[in-house]
Amino acid sequence: MENSALKWWETAVIYQIYPRSFQDSNADGIGDLPGITSRLDYLAGLGVDAIWISPFFKSPQKDFGYDVSDYCDINPDYGTLADFDELISKAHALGLRIMIDIVPAHCSDQHEWFEESRQSRTNDKADWYHWVDPLPDGSAPTNWLSFFGGRAWSWEPRRQQYYLHNFLPSQPNLNHHNPEVRNALTDVARFWFDRGVDGFRLDAVHTINGDTAPYQNNLANPDFVPGDLPQQQQPFFRQLHDSAQLNQPAIQLFSEAFRAVADEYEDRFLMGELHGDDPVLASKTFTAPGRLHATYNFNLLAWAGLNVTEMKDAISEAVVAFNSTGRLTFAFSNHDVPRSGTRQLEPLGLAETDQEALQLLLLKLETCLIGSTCVYQGEELAFDDVRDIPVEQMQDPWGIEFAPVFMGRDTCRTPMVWQEDAPQGGFSTANKTWLPIATQHLKRAGLDEVKRPNSTYNAYAKFLKWRKKQAAMMTSNTMSELSGEDHQIVFDRISDTQTLRCCFDFKTLTATFEEI
C-alpha cells in the first residue's frame, strides 16, 4: 500500500492561474507572463506544488485563449517566449512545477492549418479537419449540437462542405483520424517539454473527434429535464453525446501518442479534462495503461453547488473507481463556474458571513482526497463570486447573450487584487482593466492577506505544510468509504504507517484530524 516513491502529481496541489486576470506588468490592463513571474514568491509561500496556467498562446481571443492560432508562440497580450523561459526558470528555482493548458481537440479558424484547409478539397491540409458533404436536402450531416448553442456544423462555401466545431464556429475541430494531425500535436508537446514544462492540462479531450464518415446522429437523452439558465446549454443536454459525438474510441490514438512523448522525458504529467454520459467510465478509459496519468474530475463543480449528501455521493463515485491510485484530480472551482465559496452557500444553508470559513473548509477537504487537487486563483483568499459586473463591461460572449438573468463566466474571472490601497488593487496601473476590479475583494487582497496572521491564505499555507508531513496523505492514495452525520464528511486516509481520520463538519465549518 505504502510507496514513498509516488510521482509528484499523485499528491500534488496545483494552483490554476487565469493569466489574463492574475497580474499586469505593462499597464495595459491585461495580466501577462511577467506578471505571473513577479508573484511566484506568493505562490511558493502558500505551499502549492505546481502551477497550471490557462492558455497564453497566440489567439484571436474569441474564447480567451482556448482558440489557438499558434501553439508554439505567445499571444502578445501575455508577453514573449523569453518571458515564459524566465517564468519557468524562476518557478523551478522556487521548487514550483509548471503545467500549461493545451487544446488538442480544436484550434482557431485563424490558425494557418485551417486557413489552408478551408481553401479547397485538394490542398496539403485538406483533411486536417472534419469536412463533410451536406445531406441531400442541403442540411448538416448530423444532429450534433455545439456546447455554446446551435449546430456543431458550419458551412464553408469554398469547399461546399460543412466543418465540425464542438464549441464556437471559430473553433474548428481537428481531424485526429489523420496521423499528420497527431504528429503535429506531439511536436507541440516536445516544443514545450524541451522548454522545461512539467506537464499539460489537456482541455476537453473528450471532444476530440477521430472517427470518419458516415457520422451517426446522437441519441435522445431520455432523462433530460429542462432547467434554469444557462439555457444555452439546455438543447445540448437533450442528447446522449457518447452515442456518437463525444468520447469516441479513436480519441485514444491521441492519448497514447501524447503519453509516448511524455514518457520520453522525466516526471512529466498529463491531466485530461473530460466529461461524458458516464464520466467514471470515460475517466477509466482515458487513464488505462499507456494513456493519460489522470483526469480532471467534474464531480464537485456543479454550477448550483452541492449539499453535503451530494458532495458525499460525488466524491464516493470517483473514489470507488480510483481508490489506491493517483489517477484523479479534484477541484471545487475553475475559470468556467461560479466561485465555490459563493455557490456552495445556498445548498449548505449558510449565510454570507460564513463564506470565508466555508472556503477554508472546502480547500482542506479537496486536498485531503486521493490524487491531486486544482485550486483556482483567489480561493486561497476566500474570494466570492462577482455578480454586479455592468453589462457594458462584460467580456464573456456566453454571459453577454443572457445578461442580466445569467451572468456567464466573467463572475469568477475578475482580476486578482494584491493591495487594498494600491491603484486597481495592485493588479495594474492602467486606467481600465480588461474586466473591472471587484471592490468587494479588496478587503482580502493577496499581499495584505499574507501579512494578516489569521487570513485564509495563512491558514491554508499552515495546513499544506502540515499535510506534507502526513504519511497517510503523501505516501499512499488509499482512503476509506465516506461516513459521518448528515452535516459531516468523514473518511480515513490510510498508509502502512498511519491511519488519519479526517472529519469535515459543515455545521461548525471546521476540519479535525485524528490518528487512529
Query: Per the residue annotation, which of 24, 101, 203, 366 is the catalytic one?
Result: 203
Tell me, rounded to whole angstroms, the distance of Cα 500 from its chain centroid: 29
Domain coordinates in residue numbering, the chain:
8-103+297-478
Give the long-range contacts of residues 356-362, CB within 8 A, separation 24 or more.
356/382, 356/444, 356/456, 357/509, 358/506, 358/509, 359/456, 360/456, 360/459, 360/460, 361/504, 361/506, 361/509, 361/510, 361/511, 362/332
Q: Which region, left, alpha or beta, applies to residue 401 given φ > 0 means left and ψ of -120 to 50 means alpha?
A: alpha
The per-residue pLDDT for 2 is: 45
Distance CA 105, CA 294 (A): 18
Provide the 10 A C-beta neighbour count for residue 87.
24
- List the grid coordinates of 437: 476590479
Peptide bond into 60 cis (omega under 30): no
- Which ranges of 202-296 would DSSP assign to H, the alpha helix? 251-262, 279-286
User: In the block, which residue shows the cell 506534507?
Assistant: 468
Pairing outcome for strands 97-102 and 50-53: parallel
* Per-residue model confidence (pLDDT) at position 96: 98
What pTM was estimated for this model as a whole?
A: 0.96
Q: Among candidates 154, 176, 171, which has minimal Cα distance to 163?
A: 154
Q: What's residue 401's pLDDT?
A: 77
Structure confidence at residue 211 (pLDDT):
84
CA 206 to chain centre: 13
Closest CA relative to residue 345, chosen from 384, 298, 378: 384
- Say if CB 273 and CB 203 are below 8 A apart: yes
174 phi and psi angles, rounded to 5 deg: -70, 150
Cell of 477: 492514495
Report how far residue 210's alpha carbon sits from residue 208's, in angstroms, rounded to the nearest whole number. 7
Q: Based on the residue annotation, tell me whether 264 is a catalytic residue of this protein.
A: yes
- SS3 readout for 295-345: EECCCCCCCCCCCHHHHHHHHHHHHHHHCCCCCEEEECCCCCCCCHHHHCC
Among 187, 263, 264, 267, the one annotated catalytic: 264
Give the whole-angstrom CA distance, residue 379 versus residue 387: 17
* Known catalytic membership, residue 203: yes
CATH superfamily membership of 8-103+297-478: Glycosidases (3.20.20.80)
Grid coordinates belonging to 55? 492558455
* pLDDT at residue 298, as a whole number: 87
- Is the backbone peptide bond immediately before 404 cis, with ω within 30 degrees of 0? yes
Render the burial of 27-58: b for 16+ CB within 10 Å, e for the rest.
Answer: ebbbbbbbbbbbbbebbbebbbbbbbbbbbbb
Which residues make beta-bridge pairs with 504?
A: 489, 511
Residue 297: what pLDDT?
Answer: 86
Q: For residue 96, what is the DSSP state?
A: -
Q: Tens of pLDDT along the chain (516 residues)?
A: 344 589 999 999 999 999 999 999 999 999 999 999 999 999 999 999 999 999 999 999 999 999 999 999 999 999 999 999 999 999 999 999 999 999 999 999 999 999 999 999 999 999 999 999 999 999 999 999 998 888 999 999 999 999 999 999 999 999 999 999 999 999 999 999 999 999 999 999 999 999 888 899 999 999 888 877 665 467 888 999 998 999 999 899 999 999 999 999 999 999 999 988 898 999 999 999 999 999 998 889 998 899 999 999 999 999 999 999 999 999 999 999 999 999 999 999 999 999 999 999 999 999 999 999 999 999 999 999 999 999 999 999 878 877 887 888 999 999 999 999 999 999 999 999 999 999 999 999 999 999 999 999 999 999 999 999 999 999 999 999 999 999 999 999 999 999 999 999 999 999 999 999
User: CB atoms < 10 A from the CB of 128, how many?
Assistant: 22
Give the distance from CA 429 to its chain's centroid: 29
Q: What would you report as the CA-atom Rg of the chain, rounded to the nearest whole angstrom?
A: 22
Residue entry with cell 457520422:
215
